[in-house]
Structure 1
Amino acid sequence: MYPELFKISLPNFFSGFLGDYFTVYSYGFFIVIGAISGVSYVTYESKKLFNLSFDKINTLFLLLLIAAIVGGKVFLIFEKPSYYLDHPDALLTGKGFVFYGSLLFTIPAMLLYFKKQHLPILPMLDIMAITTCIVHFFGRIGCFMAGCCHGIEWHGPLAVVYSDPSCLAPLHTSMHPTQLYSASMILSILITLLFIKKHKSFNGQLFLLYLMFYAIGRSIIETFRGDLSRGYVIDIYLSHSQFISLLVFMAALYFYFKINPGKKSIS
Protein backbone atom coordinates (compact mmCIF):
# COMPACT_ATOMS: atom_id res chain seq x y z
CA MET A 1 0.00 0.00 0.00
CA TYR A 2 1.36 3.40 1.02
CA PRO A 3 3.65 3.21 4.10
CA GLU A 4 4.64 6.82 3.41
CA LEU A 5 1.78 9.28 2.97
CA PHE A 6 3.84 12.15 1.66
CA LYS A 7 7.16 14.00 1.92
CA ILE A 8 7.78 17.69 2.50
CA SER A 9 10.91 19.30 1.14
CA LEU A 10 12.89 21.01 3.89
CA PRO A 11 14.83 24.29 3.58
CA ASN A 12 18.55 23.93 3.04
CA PHE A 13 19.45 24.98 6.59
CA PHE A 14 17.53 21.95 7.92
CA SER A 15 18.94 19.39 5.50
CA GLY A 16 22.23 19.04 7.37
CA PHE A 17 20.65 17.33 10.39
CA LEU A 18 17.08 16.45 9.30
CA GLY A 19 17.71 15.38 5.73
CA ASP A 20 16.19 16.76 2.56
CA TYR A 21 12.62 15.69 3.35
CA PHE A 22 10.24 15.40 6.26
CA THR A 23 8.36 12.13 5.78
CA VAL A 24 4.85 11.54 7.12
CA TYR A 25 4.38 7.80 7.64
CA SER A 26 0.93 6.26 7.30
CA TYR A 27 1.07 4.21 10.50
CA GLY A 28 2.11 7.12 12.70
CA PHE A 29 -0.37 9.44 11.00
CA PHE A 30 -3.35 7.19 11.70
CA ILE A 31 -2.19 6.51 15.26
CA VAL A 32 -2.15 10.26 15.87
CA ILE A 33 -5.61 10.64 14.33
CA GLY A 34 -6.86 7.82 16.54
CA ALA A 35 -5.28 9.31 19.67
CA ILE A 36 -6.78 12.75 18.99
CA SER A 37 -10.20 11.19 18.38
CA GLY A 38 -9.89 9.07 21.53
CA VAL A 39 -8.86 12.02 23.71
CA SER A 40 -11.74 14.05 22.29
CA TYR A 41 -14.24 11.33 23.19
CA VAL A 42 -12.89 10.84 26.71
CA THR A 43 -12.84 14.61 27.26
CA TYR A 44 -16.46 14.99 26.16
CA GLU A 45 -17.83 12.02 28.10
CA SER A 46 -15.83 12.45 31.32
CA LYS A 47 -16.54 16.17 31.54
CA LYS A 48 -20.22 15.57 30.93
CA LEU A 49 -20.50 12.80 33.52
CA PHE A 50 -17.79 13.54 36.09
CA ASN A 51 -16.49 17.04 35.30
CA LEU A 52 -13.01 15.58 34.85
CA SER A 53 -10.39 18.22 34.11
CA PHE A 54 -8.45 18.21 30.86
CA ASP A 55 -5.17 17.99 32.80
CA LYS A 56 -6.29 14.70 34.39
CA ILE A 57 -7.31 13.37 30.98
CA ASN A 58 -3.89 14.25 29.56
CA THR A 59 -2.20 12.53 32.50
CA LEU A 60 -4.37 9.46 31.97
CA PHE A 61 -3.44 9.22 28.28
CA LEU A 62 0.25 9.71 29.01
CA LEU A 63 0.10 6.92 31.58
CA LEU A 64 -1.75 4.65 29.14
CA LEU A 65 0.72 5.45 26.38
CA ILE A 66 3.63 4.36 28.55
CA ALA A 67 1.80 1.22 29.70
CA ALA A 68 0.81 0.35 26.11
CA ILE A 69 4.39 0.69 24.82
CA VAL A 70 5.87 -1.36 27.67
CA GLY A 71 3.15 -4.03 27.42
CA GLY A 72 3.39 -4.26 23.66
CA LYS A 73 7.15 -4.78 23.86
CA VAL A 74 7.01 -7.25 26.77
CA PHE A 75 4.56 -9.49 24.90
CA LEU A 76 6.71 -9.14 21.79
CA ILE A 77 9.49 -10.93 23.68
CA PHE A 78 7.20 -13.95 24.10
CA GLU A 79 7.00 -14.36 20.32
CA LYS A 80 10.74 -14.96 19.90
CA PRO A 81 12.29 -15.12 23.40
CA SER A 82 15.75 -16.32 22.36
CA TYR A 83 16.06 -13.70 19.61
CA TYR A 84 15.12 -10.74 21.81
CA LEU A 85 17.25 -11.97 24.70
CA ASP A 86 20.21 -12.04 22.31
CA HIS A 87 19.21 -8.78 20.58
CA PRO A 88 17.57 -6.55 23.24
CA ASP A 89 18.25 -3.50 21.08
CA ALA A 90 15.60 -4.79 18.64
CA LEU A 91 12.98 -3.91 21.25
CA LEU A 92 13.93 -0.25 21.06
CA THR A 93 12.83 0.17 17.45
CA GLY A 94 9.47 1.65 16.52
CA LYS A 95 8.49 -1.62 14.86
CA GLY A 96 6.84 -4.51 16.63
CA PHE A 97 4.04 -4.25 19.16
CA VAL A 98 1.58 -6.83 20.44
CA PHE A 99 -1.87 -5.34 20.96
CA TYR A 100 -2.86 -7.77 23.70
CA GLY A 101 0.28 -6.84 25.61
CA SER A 102 -0.65 -3.18 25.39
CA LEU A 103 -4.26 -3.90 26.41
CA LEU A 104 -3.39 -6.10 29.38
CA PHE A 105 -0.87 -3.56 30.69
CA THR A 106 -3.20 -0.58 30.29
CA ILE A 107 -6.06 -2.19 32.23
CA PRO A 108 -4.27 -2.23 35.63
CA ALA A 109 -2.81 1.21 34.83
CA MET A 110 -6.35 2.54 34.33
CA LEU A 111 -7.63 0.90 37.48
CA LEU A 112 -4.83 2.36 39.59
CA TYR A 113 -5.29 5.82 38.12
CA PHE A 114 -9.07 5.81 38.56
CA LYS A 115 -8.69 4.66 42.16
CA LYS A 116 -6.05 7.27 42.94
CA GLN A 117 -8.17 10.04 41.44
CA HIS A 118 -11.29 8.75 43.24
CA LEU A 119 -13.10 8.24 39.93
CA PRO A 120 -15.94 5.71 39.51
CA ILE A 121 -14.08 2.74 38.07
CA LEU A 122 -16.76 0.90 36.13
CA PRO A 123 -18.32 3.95 34.41
CA MET A 124 -14.83 5.10 33.41
CA LEU A 125 -14.03 1.66 32.02
CA ASP A 126 -17.14 1.89 29.86
CA ILE A 127 -15.86 5.17 28.45
CA MET A 128 -12.44 3.66 27.85
CA ALA A 129 -13.96 0.66 26.00
CA ILE A 130 -15.35 2.95 23.32
CA THR A 131 -12.15 5.00 23.35
CA THR A 132 -10.06 1.89 22.77
CA CYS A 133 -12.21 0.95 19.78
CA ILE A 134 -11.72 4.41 18.28
CA VAL A 135 -7.93 4.38 18.69
CA HIS A 136 -7.59 0.76 17.62
CA PHE A 137 -9.70 1.25 14.49
CA PHE A 138 -7.40 3.96 13.18
CA GLY A 139 -4.38 1.90 14.23
CA ARG A 140 -5.53 -1.01 12.07
CA ILE A 141 -5.95 1.31 9.09
CA GLY A 142 -2.35 2.34 9.70
CA CYS A 143 -1.36 -1.34 9.79
CA PHE A 144 -3.02 -1.86 6.42
CA MET A 145 -1.12 1.03 4.90
CA ALA A 146 2.21 -0.13 6.36
CA GLY A 147 1.72 -3.83 5.64
CA CYS A 148 2.17 -5.15 9.17
CA CYS A 149 -0.22 -7.75 10.64
CA HIS A 150 -0.75 -9.05 7.10
CA GLY A 151 -2.68 -12.13 6.03
CA ILE A 152 -1.83 -15.50 4.53
CA GLU A 153 -1.59 -15.95 0.80
CA TRP A 154 -5.00 -15.84 -0.87
CA HIS A 155 -6.30 -15.12 -4.35
CA GLY A 156 -9.90 -14.22 -3.58
CA PRO A 157 -11.80 -11.09 -4.69
CA LEU A 158 -10.71 -8.99 -1.68
CA ALA A 159 -7.05 -9.97 -1.81
CA VAL A 160 -4.38 -7.27 -1.61
CA VAL A 161 -0.87 -7.14 -3.04
CA TYR A 162 1.94 -5.01 -1.62
CA SER A 163 4.59 -3.69 -3.99
CA ASP A 164 6.24 -0.83 -2.07
CA PRO A 165 9.64 -2.01 -0.71
CA SER A 166 8.99 -0.01 2.47
CA CYS A 167 6.01 -2.20 3.36
CA LEU A 168 6.36 -4.80 6.09
CA ALA A 169 4.32 -7.42 4.21
CA PRO A 170 5.73 -9.88 1.64
CA LEU A 171 5.89 -8.12 -1.71
CA HIS A 172 4.02 -9.14 -4.87
CA THR A 173 2.01 -11.76 -2.99
CA SER A 174 -1.79 -11.91 -3.02
CA MET A 175 -2.98 -12.01 0.62
CA HIS A 176 -5.99 -11.74 2.91
CA PRO A 177 -6.44 -8.08 3.99
CA THR A 178 -6.51 -9.08 7.67
CA GLN A 179 -5.90 -5.49 8.78
CA LEU A 180 -9.16 -4.47 7.11
CA TYR A 181 -10.92 -7.48 8.62
CA SER A 182 -9.75 -6.25 12.03
CA ALA A 183 -10.74 -2.65 11.31
CA SER A 184 -14.21 -3.77 10.21
CA MET A 185 -14.56 -5.96 13.28
CA ILE A 186 -13.51 -3.14 15.62
CA LEU A 187 -15.86 -0.68 13.90
CA SER A 188 -18.70 -3.18 14.32
CA ILE A 189 -17.89 -3.52 18.02
CA LEU A 190 -17.80 0.27 18.35
CA ILE A 191 -21.22 0.70 16.74
CA THR A 192 -22.63 -2.11 18.90
CA LEU A 193 -21.26 -0.57 22.11
CA LEU A 194 -22.65 2.86 21.21
CA PHE A 195 -26.07 1.26 20.75
CA ILE A 196 -25.89 -0.75 23.99
CA LYS A 197 -24.65 2.35 25.82
CA LYS A 198 -28.16 3.82 25.66
CA HIS A 199 -29.69 0.69 27.17
CA LYS A 200 -26.91 -0.81 29.33
CA SER A 201 -27.96 -2.75 32.42
CA PHE A 202 -25.00 -1.99 34.66
CA ASN A 203 -21.78 -0.02 34.80
CA GLY A 204 -18.87 -1.97 33.38
CA GLN A 205 -21.08 -3.78 30.88
CA LEU A 206 -19.61 -2.02 27.84
CA PHE A 207 -16.04 -2.76 28.88
CA LEU A 208 -16.71 -6.45 29.52
CA LEU A 209 -18.66 -6.81 26.27
CA TYR A 210 -15.81 -5.14 24.42
CA LEU A 211 -13.34 -7.66 25.82
CA MET A 212 -15.55 -10.61 24.87
CA PHE A 213 -16.45 -9.32 21.40
CA TYR A 214 -12.84 -8.52 20.61
CA ALA A 215 -11.58 -11.88 21.90
CA ILE A 216 -14.01 -13.75 19.64
CA GLY A 217 -13.28 -11.61 16.59
CA ARG A 218 -9.52 -11.70 17.10
CA SER A 219 -9.54 -15.50 17.40
CA ILE A 220 -11.36 -15.83 14.08
CA ILE A 221 -9.15 -13.33 12.24
CA GLU A 222 -6.03 -15.08 13.57
CA THR A 223 -6.77 -18.01 11.25
CA PHE A 224 -6.13 -15.69 8.29
CA ARG A 225 -2.99 -14.01 9.66
CA GLY A 226 0.24 -14.64 7.81
CA ASP A 227 2.82 -13.02 10.10
CA LEU A 228 3.80 -16.33 11.64
CA SER A 229 6.47 -14.78 13.87
CA ARG A 230 3.77 -14.09 16.46
CA GLY A 231 4.15 -17.74 17.53
CA TYR A 232 1.95 -20.59 18.68
CA VAL A 233 1.09 -22.20 21.99
CA ILE A 234 0.04 -25.34 20.10
CA ASP A 235 1.83 -25.36 16.75
CA ILE A 236 -0.48 -24.46 13.85
CA TYR A 237 -3.64 -24.90 15.94
CA LEU A 238 -3.52 -22.28 18.71
CA SER A 239 -1.58 -19.02 18.39
CA HIS A 240 -0.45 -16.89 21.31
CA SER A 241 -3.20 -14.36 20.55
CA GLN A 242 -5.89 -17.05 20.38
CA PHE A 243 -4.75 -18.43 23.72
CA ILE A 244 -4.82 -14.97 25.28
CA SER A 245 -8.23 -14.36 23.66
CA LEU A 246 -9.55 -17.48 25.36
CA LEU A 247 -8.29 -16.32 28.76
CA VAL A 248 -9.62 -12.79 28.25
CA PHE A 249 -13.03 -14.07 27.16
CA MET A 250 -13.34 -16.39 30.16
CA ALA A 251 -12.29 -13.66 32.62
CA ALA A 252 -14.67 -11.10 31.07
CA LEU A 253 -17.53 -13.60 31.05
CA TYR A 254 -16.94 -14.37 34.73
CA PHE A 255 -17.05 -10.69 35.73
CA TYR A 256 -20.01 -10.06 33.43
CA PHE A 257 -22.14 -12.40 35.52
CA LYS A 258 -20.50 -11.36 38.79
CA ILE A 259 -21.13 -7.64 38.25
CA ASN A 260 -24.82 -7.19 37.52
CA PRO A 261 -27.74 -4.98 38.59
CA GLY A 262 -28.66 -7.36 41.38
CA LYS A 263 -25.26 -7.11 43.08
CA LYS A 264 -23.26 -4.25 44.48
CA SER A 265 -20.74 -3.10 41.85
CA ILE A 266 -17.26 -1.65 42.25
CA SER A 267 -17.16 2.15 42.26
Structure 2
Amino acid sequence: MFNEITIGPLTLHTYGLMIGLGFLAAYAMCYYRGKKMKMEKSGDILYGIFWCAIIGGLVGTRLLYYIVEIPEIIKDPSILWNFKNGYVVYGGIIGGILVSWLYCRIKKVSFIEYFDLVMPAVALAQGFGRIGCFFAGCCYGKATDSWFGITFTHSDYAPNGVKLIPTQLISSAGDFMICLMLLAYAKRKPKKGRVASLYLMFYGIGRFGVEFLRSDYRGSVGFLSTSQFISIGIVAAGIILYQMLPRIYEDAKKAE
Protein backbone atom coordinates (compact mmCIF):
# COMPACT_ATOMS: atom_id res chain seq x y z
CA MET A 1 0.00 0.00 0.00
CA PHE A 2 0.95 3.68 -0.22
CA ASN A 3 2.54 4.01 3.21
CA GLU A 4 4.76 6.86 1.98
CA ILE A 5 4.29 9.72 -0.46
CA THR A 6 7.45 11.33 -1.78
CA ILE A 7 7.32 14.86 -3.15
CA GLY A 8 10.83 15.88 -4.15
CA PRO A 9 12.96 15.77 -0.98
CA LEU A 10 9.85 15.54 1.21
CA THR A 11 8.50 12.16 2.35
CA LEU A 12 5.06 11.98 3.95
CA HIS A 13 3.93 8.93 5.91
CA THR A 14 0.30 8.36 4.98
CA TYR A 15 -0.62 6.94 8.39
CA GLY A 16 0.44 10.14 10.15
CA LEU A 17 -0.96 12.25 7.33
CA MET A 18 -4.43 10.72 7.66
CA ILE A 19 -4.39 11.12 11.44
CA GLY A 20 -3.42 14.77 11.00
CA LEU A 21 -6.20 15.30 8.44
CA GLY A 22 -8.62 13.61 10.82
CA PHE A 23 -7.73 15.97 13.67
CA LEU A 24 -8.02 19.03 11.44
CA ALA A 25 -11.37 17.91 9.98
CA ALA A 26 -12.69 17.18 13.48
CA TYR A 27 -11.59 20.56 14.80
CA ALA A 28 -13.10 22.38 11.82
CA MET A 29 -16.39 20.56 12.29
CA CYS A 30 -16.52 21.36 16.01
CA TYR A 31 -15.59 25.00 15.44
CA TYR A 32 -18.27 25.43 12.77
CA ARG A 33 -20.98 23.69 14.77
CA GLY A 34 -20.01 25.51 17.98
CA LYS A 35 -20.35 28.89 16.29
CA LYS A 36 -23.60 27.87 14.64
CA MET A 37 -25.01 26.74 18.01
CA LYS A 38 -23.78 30.02 19.57
CA MET A 39 -21.92 28.22 22.32
CA GLU A 40 -20.20 30.74 24.57
CA LYS A 41 -16.44 30.97 24.01
CA SER A 42 -16.64 27.83 21.87
CA GLY A 43 -13.53 28.71 19.84
CA ASP A 44 -11.24 29.16 22.85
CA ILE A 45 -12.61 26.15 24.71
CA LEU A 46 -12.46 23.93 21.64
CA TYR A 47 -8.82 24.82 21.10
CA GLY A 48 -8.08 23.66 24.64
CA ILE A 49 -10.16 20.50 24.24
CA PHE A 50 -8.35 19.79 20.97
CA TRP A 51 -4.99 19.62 22.74
CA CYS A 52 -6.47 17.79 25.72
CA ALA A 53 -7.85 15.15 23.37
CA ILE A 54 -4.46 14.75 21.67
CA ILE A 55 -2.43 14.58 24.88
CA GLY A 56 -4.97 12.53 26.84
CA GLY A 57 -5.53 10.29 23.84
CA LEU A 58 -1.86 9.55 23.26
CA VAL A 59 -1.23 8.84 26.94
CA GLY A 60 -4.42 6.79 27.19
CA THR A 61 -3.64 4.57 24.19
CA ARG A 62 -0.27 3.66 25.68
CA LEU A 63 -1.43 3.31 29.28
CA LEU A 64 -4.27 0.94 28.41
CA TYR A 65 -1.83 -1.11 26.34
CA TYR A 66 0.40 -1.45 29.40
CA ILE A 67 -2.58 -2.52 31.50
CA VAL A 68 -3.82 -5.23 29.13
CA GLU A 69 -0.30 -6.49 28.46
CA ILE A 70 0.89 -6.73 32.09
CA PRO A 71 1.65 -10.50 31.83
CA GLU A 72 3.79 -9.94 28.71
CA ILE A 73 5.53 -6.92 30.23
CA ILE A 74 6.49 -8.97 33.28
CA LYS A 75 8.10 -11.50 30.95
CA ASP A 76 9.76 -8.84 28.79
CA PRO A 77 10.07 -5.34 30.38
CA SER A 78 11.58 -3.96 27.16
CA ILE A 79 8.00 -3.69 25.88
CA LEU A 80 7.66 -0.59 28.06
CA TRP A 81 9.96 1.47 25.84
CA ASN A 82 9.14 -0.09 22.49
CA PHE A 83 7.00 2.70 21.03
CA LYS A 84 6.77 1.32 17.50
CA ASN A 85 3.76 -0.81 18.49
CA GLY A 86 1.39 -0.94 21.42
CA TYR A 87 -1.47 1.55 21.17
CA VAL A 88 -5.08 0.76 22.13
CA VAL A 89 -7.75 2.98 20.55
CA TYR A 90 -10.11 2.62 23.48
CA GLY A 91 -7.41 4.01 25.76
CA GLY A 92 -7.26 7.07 23.53
CA ILE A 93 -11.02 7.57 23.70
CA ILE A 94 -11.14 7.20 27.47
CA GLY A 95 -8.01 9.29 28.03
CA GLY A 96 -9.20 12.07 25.73
CA ILE A 97 -12.61 12.22 27.44
CA LEU A 98 -11.16 12.28 30.97
CA VAL A 99 -8.58 15.01 30.26
CA SER A 100 -11.20 17.07 28.39
CA TRP A 101 -13.58 16.71 31.35
CA LEU A 102 -10.86 17.96 33.69
CA TYR A 103 -10.16 20.89 31.36
CA CYS A 104 -13.84 21.89 31.28
CA ARG A 105 -13.95 21.69 35.07
CA ILE A 106 -10.98 24.04 35.33
CA LYS A 107 -12.52 26.43 32.79
CA LYS A 108 -15.92 26.16 34.52
CA VAL A 109 -17.88 25.36 31.37
CA SER A 110 -20.42 22.63 30.76
CA PHE A 111 -18.56 19.47 29.85
CA ILE A 112 -21.77 17.74 28.73
CA GLU A 113 -22.48 20.38 26.07
CA TYR A 114 -18.98 20.04 24.63
CA PHE A 115 -19.15 16.26 24.98
CA ASP A 116 -22.12 16.29 22.63
CA LEU A 117 -20.42 18.74 20.30
CA VAL A 118 -17.14 16.86 20.02
CA MET A 119 -18.08 13.18 19.77
CA PRO A 120 -19.48 13.22 16.20
CA ALA A 121 -16.17 14.80 15.19
CA VAL A 122 -14.27 12.09 17.06
CA ALA A 123 -16.00 9.52 14.85
CA LEU A 124 -14.98 11.59 11.81
CA ALA A 125 -11.34 11.66 12.93
CA GLN A 126 -11.39 7.92 13.56
CA GLY A 127 -12.66 7.36 10.02
CA PHE A 128 -9.60 9.15 8.64
CA GLY A 129 -7.35 7.30 11.08
CA ARG A 130 -8.56 3.92 9.88
CA ILE A 131 -7.74 4.90 6.31
CA GLY A 132 -4.24 5.53 7.64
CA CYS A 133 -4.29 2.02 9.11
CA PHE A 134 -5.21 0.68 5.69
CA PHE A 135 -2.23 2.41 4.05
CA ALA A 136 0.11 1.13 6.76
CA GLY A 137 -1.36 -2.38 6.81
CA CYS A 138 -1.97 -2.50 10.56
CA CYS A 139 -5.26 -3.65 12.14
CA TYR A 140 -5.60 -6.14 9.27
CA GLY A 141 -8.32 -8.72 8.71
CA LYS A 142 -8.48 -12.46 8.34
CA ALA A 143 -7.49 -14.29 5.16
CA THR A 144 -10.31 -14.52 2.61
CA ASP A 145 -11.06 -15.66 -0.93
CA SER A 146 -13.82 -13.06 -1.36
CA TRP A 147 -13.79 -10.54 -4.21
CA PHE A 148 -13.41 -7.65 -1.77
CA GLY A 149 -10.21 -9.01 -0.24
CA ILE A 150 -7.03 -6.92 -0.49
CA THR A 151 -3.41 -8.05 -0.72
CA PHE A 152 -0.49 -6.21 0.88
CA THR A 153 2.91 -6.45 -0.74
CA HIS A 154 5.14 -4.13 1.31
CA SER A 155 3.52 -3.91 4.75
CA ASP A 156 5.52 -4.05 7.96
CA TYR A 157 2.44 -5.30 9.82
CA ALA A 158 0.06 -7.34 7.65
CA PRO A 159 1.12 -10.65 6.10
CA ASN A 160 2.22 -9.85 2.54
CA GLY A 161 0.97 -11.76 -0.47
CA VAL A 162 -2.19 -12.96 1.33
CA LYS A 163 -5.70 -11.83 0.44
CA LEU A 164 -7.23 -10.24 3.57
CA ILE A 165 -10.55 -8.80 4.67
CA PRO A 166 -10.15 -4.97 4.54
CA THR A 167 -11.20 -4.45 8.16
CA GLN A 168 -9.57 -1.01 8.17
CA LEU A 169 -11.89 0.24 5.42
CA ILE A 170 -14.90 -1.45 7.04
CA SER A 171 -14.07 0.32 10.30
CA SER A 172 -13.54 3.62 8.47
CA ALA A 173 -16.91 3.38 6.73
CA GLY A 174 -18.55 2.56 10.06
CA ASP A 175 -16.91 5.56 11.74
CA PHE A 176 -18.05 7.94 9.00
CA MET A 177 -21.55 6.46 9.25
CA ILE A 178 -21.58 7.00 13.02
CA CYS A 179 -20.57 10.62 12.45
CA LEU A 180 -23.43 11.18 10.00
CA MET A 181 -25.99 9.48 12.26
CA LEU A 182 -24.94 11.54 15.27
CA LEU A 183 -25.10 14.77 13.26
CA ALA A 184 -28.59 13.87 12.04
CA TYR A 185 -29.68 13.03 15.58
CA ALA A 186 -28.18 16.27 16.94
CA LYS A 187 -30.36 18.29 14.55
CA ARG A 188 -33.39 16.98 16.43
CA LYS A 189 -32.07 18.82 19.52
CA PRO A 190 -32.19 15.84 21.91
CA LYS A 191 -31.55 16.14 25.63
CA LYS A 192 -28.03 17.09 26.59
CA GLY A 193 -25.59 14.20 26.75
CA ARG A 194 -27.49 11.86 24.49
CA VAL A 195 -25.51 12.49 21.31
CA ALA A 196 -22.28 11.59 23.10
CA SER A 197 -23.93 8.60 24.77
CA LEU A 198 -25.05 7.27 21.40
CA TYR A 199 -21.49 7.54 20.14
CA LEU A 200 -20.36 5.20 22.91
CA MET A 201 -23.12 2.73 22.05
CA PHE A 202 -22.66 2.86 18.27
CA TYR A 203 -18.87 2.68 18.36
CA GLY A 204 -18.86 -0.10 20.96
CA ILE A 205 -21.28 -2.23 18.95
CA GLY A 206 -19.42 -1.61 15.69
CA ARG A 207 -16.03 -2.37 17.20
CA PHE A 208 -17.33 -5.56 18.81
CA GLY A 209 -18.51 -6.79 15.42
CA VAL A 210 -15.41 -5.84 13.42
CA GLU A 211 -13.21 -7.66 15.92
CA PHE A 212 -14.57 -10.98 14.59
CA LEU A 213 -13.04 -10.12 11.20
CA ARG A 214 -9.59 -9.04 12.42
CA SER A 215 -6.54 -11.27 12.55
CA ASP A 216 -3.85 -9.07 14.13
CA TYR A 217 -2.84 -9.69 17.76
CA ARG A 218 -5.03 -7.70 20.18
CA GLY A 219 -4.89 -9.66 23.42
CA SER A 220 -7.79 -11.66 24.85
CA VAL A 221 -10.08 -11.96 27.84
CA GLY A 222 -11.45 -15.48 27.79
CA PHE A 223 -12.94 -16.13 24.35
CA LEU A 224 -13.24 -12.41 23.60
CA SER A 225 -10.56 -10.08 22.30
CA THR A 226 -9.51 -7.34 24.70
CA SER A 227 -11.33 -4.76 22.57
CA GLN A 228 -14.51 -6.82 22.54
CA PHE A 229 -14.39 -7.09 26.31
CA ILE A 230 -13.93 -3.31 26.62
CA SER A 231 -16.70 -2.76 24.03
CA ILE A 232 -19.21 -4.42 26.33
CA GLY A 233 -18.33 -1.94 29.08
CA ILE A 234 -18.40 1.01 26.66
CA VAL A 235 -21.86 0.09 25.36
CA ALA A 236 -23.13 -0.39 28.93
CA ALA A 237 -21.68 3.01 29.89
CA GLY A 238 -23.40 4.58 26.88
CA ILE A 239 -26.78 3.13 27.88
CA ILE A 240 -26.42 4.33 31.47
CA LEU A 241 -25.17 7.80 30.48
CA TYR A 242 -28.01 8.14 27.96
CA GLN A 243 -30.35 8.27 30.95
CA MET A 244 -28.09 9.97 33.48
CA LEU A 245 -26.40 12.83 31.60
CA PRO A 246 -29.59 14.82 30.84
CA ARG A 247 -30.47 14.74 34.56
CA ILE A 248 -26.94 15.74 35.57
CA TYR A 249 -27.06 18.63 33.10
CA GLU A 250 -30.46 19.85 34.32
CA ASP A 251 -29.39 19.64 37.97
CA ALA A 252 -26.24 21.62 37.19
CA LYS A 253 -28.29 24.31 35.43
CA LYS A 254 -30.64 24.61 38.40
CA ALA A 255 -27.70 24.96 40.78
CA GLU A 256 -26.24 27.91 38.82
When normalised by structure 2's length, the TM-score is 0.90
Which residue pairs with 2:139 in the alignment? 149
Task: After TM superposition, give the deviation of residue 91 of structure 1 in Å.
Answer: 4.1
Structure 1 residues 2 and 84: CA distance shift in structure 2, 3 A = farther
Question: Helix, strand or coil for the counterpart of 1:230?
Answer: coil
Per-residue Cα deviation, 1:118-157 (whole angstroms, up to 9, x for no partner)? 2222221011111101111100000011001001111111
8 Å contact from structure 2 (residues 193, 241) kept in 1: no
Distance in 1 of aligned mates of 2:54 and 2:186 = 26
Number of positions where the alignment pairs a residue of Structure 1 with one of Structure 2: 251
After TM superposition, list the pairs within 5 Å mapping 1:1-267 onto structure 2: 1-9=1-9, 22-48=10-36, 49-52=38-41, 54-85=43-74, 86-88=76-78, 91=81, 93-164=83-154, 166-227=155-216, 229-234=217-222, 237-260=223-246, 264=250, 266=252
Helix, strand or coil: the match of 2:142?
coil
Per the alignment, in what secondary structure is the counterpart of residue 140 of structure 2? coil
Q: 1:232 deviation in Å?
A: 0.7
Does the residue aligned with 1:67 lie in a helix, a strand or coil?
helix
How many angstroms apart in 2 are the aligned matches of 1:263 and 1:32?
Answer: 33
Q: Give the letter aligned to residue 77 of structure 1.
A: Y
RMSD, aligned CA: 2.2
Instruction: Give the whole-Å Cα distance in 2 for the aligned partners of 1:137 and 1:248.
Output: 19
Instruction: Give aligned-pair identity as a percent.
Output: 30
**Contact 2:191–2:246 (8 Å) recurs in 1:** yes
CA offsets, 1:159-192, max 9 Å, x none? 011001x442111111110001101111111111
Structure 2: gaps of 5 or more residues: none
Most deviating of 205-214 and 89-98: 89-98
Distance 1:266-1:225 versus aligned 2 partners, 3 A rule: farther
Contact 2:211–2:228 (8 Å) recurs in 1: yes
Counterpart-to-counterpart distance in 1, 2:238 and 2:61: 21
Using a 3 Å threshold, how does the CA distance of structure 1 residues 42 and 91 change in structure 2: closer, same or farther?
Answer: farther
**Contact 1:233–1:243 (CA<8 Å) still a contact in 2?**
yes
Matched residue SS, 1:264:
helix
Rounded Cα–Cα distance in structure 2 between residues aligned with 1:258 and 1:60? 23
Unaligned runs of 5+ in 1: 10-21
3-state SS in 1 of match to 2:8: strand
